[in-house]
Structure 1
Amino acid sequence: MQKKLFYLLIVILVSGLGILGILRFSGQDGEATDYSNPDNWLALPPQAVMEVDIFYLYPTVYHKQASTDPDICEVNNDMMRFGAQMAYKLQATAFETVGNIYAPYYRQGDAAACLSLTEEDRYNLLSGAPEEDAMAAFDYYIKHFNNGRPFILAGHSQGSEILLYLLSDYMGKHPDVYKQMIAAYAIGYSVTEDYLAKNPHLRFAENATDTGVIISYNTQAAEIEGKNLIVSEGALVINPISWTRDDVPASASENLGSYLPGADGYIPINPDTELKKIMGLADARVDSEKGVLVCSSVDAEAWFSGNPVLGKGVYHSYDYSFYYYNLRQNAADRARAFLDNNG
């Protein structure tokens, strides 16, 4: 049987299951992290050598080890920093051939807390310290590192949710900065019609090369066990192989490549793990009614982590991995289109 890819998020969610009861909204709200300190950056290029920048926010990698731990970790939390490095390797590196990558460490909400809350309560939790840090980091990046270059926003899961706050709040207040945005890859979190209606300055992607747009999808099997807790009603989806929004399937043979340890591999929780380009693994089809991206070419049983929070058939952990080289090519295509149109 094919071994399962134990993405770090899955491991953390499993270990956090014991604290799914009543949660304390505790954390470190208040003064934002100091991003003039290089130690508070996961990735900080010594100099910008490309025409385009990438600003990346990693997914949920922190979980409480005791019920008395805060729902939001400190920015120097060792678990969070180690997990961020692993997520960076699995995800942010997709963009390393496209632009200079800037990635802040940020105070983050506990894994189990985030998934067990209603959308409103999750917003109340994450719009404190996590959003404060993301806003402060992005503002510092724009003022001190960007120098007017066009940029791509990229995130996953909690990182994508916070990117949506940044798109709504920061870009709404700074239209001059928004004009520099090539695209926002807010993957692994739902972008809904309701969100766009409340933020008319934002648009969802329609094809492979439109710019100033949001790209989003949540991957799952055609049929799953239980409910996909990642997906919200009215979620919009674009196919990361064909870059269309219709329901026409894109075959695994059209996929430019997945990024995994091997078709029968296993990822130890170690940022030094060697990953490989795997061809012909994942297909993709938009299901607009469910608001998800359906992958039917992998075995849901073989790729199940055993985590009941993300049930069998939910491929949240593989949103980037399955379509890694498609994301890389698309980021390059959108960057080229932006540069050509704004040169």
Structure 2
Amino acid sequence: MSMLRGLIVLALAWVGMQPAFAVTPREEIATKAAPAPDYALPANWAAGPGAPSPGPVDVFYVHPTTFRSDKGEWNQTPGDPAADKWTDESVIVRQGGAFAGCCRVWAPRYRAASFNALQSEAHRDEAFAFAYADVERAFDWFLANVSKGRPFIVAGHSQGGKHISDLLEKRIDGTALQQRMVAAYIIGINLAQGEFGPRRFKSVPVCAKPAQTGCAVQWNAIMAGSDLEPTLAAYKRYYAARFGTEDGWEPVCVNPVTFDLERPASISAQALGAAPGAPGLGPMKPLRAGAVAVKCDRGLAVVYPAPGLDLAPLPGGSMHFHDIGLFFADVRANAALRAKAWVAAHRRK
């Protein structure tokens, strides 16, 4: 008996000396994450259920990062009161609302990568992948239960724009769904010119004209007078690391007032309406027309806001928080124009 007892002690001591198995970021994220949203439940949509449809086109919109992860979470918890309130009252109103003039907007609540994940190189990509899986499931539900063969717009900003770009690449480009896609508004991330072609989007082109359909729109706003070099250098490094070449790294910029590649600059008088004030809770202030000049310069949308708009830039002059708000009425009008053009073209067919 004493020998058995000794063997047990030795065995336990040996186990205690072994290093614990390392938990990968993917495993850690999956372990900590909230349950997957059931998109048959209206509560798992920030917009869509119960809203009237103003036309024959629907919008699938994905919101940007709205979860601050005060407790170190890697992904957003759908149903978190603070995150949902910010998503609904600020982001959906000031971004998704730009598409509501032509279409019913459907915006899923999803386990978005958190601010905490964005700051962790080890967890960032895995948190994005985890979030994208929710977006794709929400899109499948949207197709089966909302769209049902109708034309649609896909749109997103920042993290939401990344997920929409992945959705465009993996689920829409080159498929039958592309024929139903009015346009993809992929805003506030870096899409390079070289991604349109053999490297990524093989069938979907950049929108060259304001009424063109089946194409993609992209811009990143930066304050006039800012040094463009740091942003452009970062874009070039990311593109080269991903594709193994610098060929085609230049950012895509579609002027969000003219929506015409042959008209890369516009004056304030042409702008239909910007949303004043910093993004926040509560009703959006009345739009202000004729308040923003913009020109595409080396792939960035350089903006000249009028005094009194009260739109503060981020460090380096980035107007990331205002990518859509600066051009709210312009986006609204353009989405309606493209929707009308799609319907007219297919009615003729």
Q: Using structure 2 for the length normalisation, give the TM-score.
A: 0.78
Is the 1:231–1:292 contact (alpha carbons within 8 Å) kept by the matching residues of 2? no
Distance 2:125 2:204 in 1: 19
Provide the residue aligned with 1:236 in structure 2.
Answer: 252
Which blocks of at least 5 consecutive residues in structure 1 are unaligned?
1-22
CA offset at residue 76 of structure 1?
Answer: 2.3
Is the 1:61–1:79 contact (alpha carbons within 8 Å) kept by the matching residues of 2? no
Does 229-238 or 78-87 show the bigger shift?
A: 229-238
Amino acid of the residue matched to residue 296 of structure 1? Y
Distance 1:312 1:199 in 2: 30
Which blocks of at least 5 consecutive residues in structure 2 are unaligned?
1-23, 237-249
1:110 to 111, 114, 118: 114
Distance 1:278 1:158 in 2: 27
Identity within the alignment, % = 24
Distance 1:144 1:330 in 2: 26
CA offset at residue 103 of structure 1?
Answer: 0.9
List per-residue Cα deviations over 1:285-342 (Å, max 9, x = no partner).
011x2x2101134579x7435xxxx314211111111111110110011111111111
Does 189-198 or 311-320 show the bigger shift?
A: 189-198
Change (3 A) 1:37 1:131: same
SS of the aligned residue for 1:76 comes to: coil
Distance 2:259 2:106 in 1: 26
- Max Rg structure: 2
* Count of residue correspondences: 303
Distance 1:228 1:116 in 2: 20
CA offset at residue 176 of structure 1?
Answer: 1.6
Provide the residue aligned with 1:6 in structure 2.
Answer: none
Provide the residue aligned with 2:170 in structure 1.
Answer: 169
Provide the residue aligned with 2:99 in structure 1.
Answer: 95
Larger % of helix: which?
2
Provide the residue aligned with 1:181 in structure 2.
Answer: 181
Change (3 A) 1:286 1:229: closer
Is the 2:39–2:45 contact (alpha carbons within 8 Å) kept by the matching residues of 1? yes
In the TM superposition, 1:148-159 aligns within 5 A as: 148-159=149-160
2:200 to 189, 198, 201: 198
* 2:276 aligned with 1:260: yes
Amino acid of the residue matched to residue 75 of structure 2? I
Change (3 A) 1:216 1:106: same
Change (3 A) 1:208 1:247: closer
Amino acid of the residue matched to residue 50 of structure 1? G
Provide the residue aligned with 1:249 in structure 2.
Answer: 265
Is the 2:111–2:131 contact (alpha carbons within 8 Å) kept by the matching residues of 1? yes
* 2:81 aligned with 1:78: yes
SS of the aligned residue for 2:253 comes to: coil
Change (3 A) 1:297 1:158: same
CA offset at residue 170 of structure 1?
Answer: 1.4
1:326 to 309, 330, 335: 330
Change (3 A) 1:209 1:274: closer
List per-residue Cα deviations over 1:207-231 (Å, max 9, x = no partner).
1011111111000023326834997
CA offset at residue 113 of structure 1?
Answer: 3.5
List per-residue Cα deviations over 1:26-49 (Å, max 9, x = no partner).
433797421111111111233645
In the TM superposition, 1:1-343 aligns within 5 A as: 26-28=28-30, 32-46=36-50, 48=53, 50-66=55-71, 69-85=72-88, 86-111=90-115, 113-114=117-118, 117=121, 122-127=124-129, 129-172=130-173, 175-196=175-196, 197-224=199-226, 227-228=230-231, 232-233=235-236, 234-246=250-262, 248-261=264-277, 269-270=280-281, 272-287=282-297, 289=298, 291-298=299-306, 303-304=311-312, 310-343=314-347
Q: Structure with the greater relative contact order (CA < 8 A, sep ≥ 6): 1 or 2?
A: 1
CA offset at residue 122 of structure 1?
Answer: 4.2
Distance 1:319 1:203 in 2: 21
Distance 1:159 1:228 in 2: 20
Amino acid of the residue matched to residue 79 of structure 1? A
Is the 2:58–2:103 contact (alpha carbons within 8 Å) kept by the matching residues of 1? yes
